[in-house]
Amino acid sequence: MSGHTENSVVIAAPLELVWELTNDVEGWPELFSEYAEAEILSREGETVRFRLAMHPDENGKVWSWVSERTPDPATRTVRARRVETGPFEHMDIFWSYEETADGVRMRWVQDFRMKPGAPLDDDGMTERINRNSAIQLARIKDIVERAAADAPAVR
């Protein structure tokens, strides 16, 4: 068994702006409500290795992990994976960006497997990721669309 999620949102903003803001890992604490900190650990070519830290949970625990992501500007896709997997046996994420008549469709596909004894099984984590992705995608849509509205017009 394994977990799989696919979530997307259409953002009414130029592709370059959506790409730039959502691939600025240092800016993720402003873009995602769940992250308190994003620390870049290394860069090699297009690949960035970074540590994400969440806001403290209800017990005061701060969850953090190291991930890598490699954006491909030519195909407007990103491949990412957790390096420090925590409760996951593996976590792989694929982002894609597609221009549509209404804006940019940004899609997240997550494939994972939970470790035996993890607080949630694959089904439970699938439900949690789907619920949280809807919240985060709506937030990102709002922030990027406001940034697009505030951007000076190009002549």
Instruction: Check which CATH number belongs to the domain holding 8 and give it.
Output: 3.30.530.20
Please tell me the distance from the alpha carbon of residue 65 to that of residue 132, in angstroms, as a whole number: 18
What is the extent of the structural domain holding 127?
Answer: 3-24+71-150
Those residues whose C-beta lies under 8 Å from the C-beta of residue 81, and which sit 6 or more positions away, are 67, 68, 69, 90, 91, 92, 93
Is residue 85 in a domain?
Answer: yes
Beta strands in the chain (DSSP E): 3-11, 35-44, 47-54, 64-72, 77-82, 88-100, 103-114
pLDDT given for residue 115 in this prediction: 95
Which of 100, 22, 36, 94 has the alpha carbon at shortest distance from 64?
A: 36
pLDDT band at 155 (very low <50, low <70, confident <90, very high): very low
pLDDT given for residue 1 in this prediction: 67
Residue range 19-25: average pLDDT?
97
Sign of CA dihedral 21, 23, 26, 29: positive
Please tell me the distance from the alpha carbon of residue 148 to that of residue 13, in angstroms, as a whole number: 6
Total structural domains within the chain: 1
Is residue 65 in a domain?
Answer: no
Please tell me the distance from the alpha carbon of residue 2 to that of residue 126, in angstroms, as a whole number: 9
Residue range 37-56: average pLDDT?
96
Is residue 54 in a domain?
Answer: no
Is residue 52 in a domain?
Answer: no
Is residue 43 in a domain?
Answer: no
Q: What percent of the chain has pLDDT over 70?
A: 97
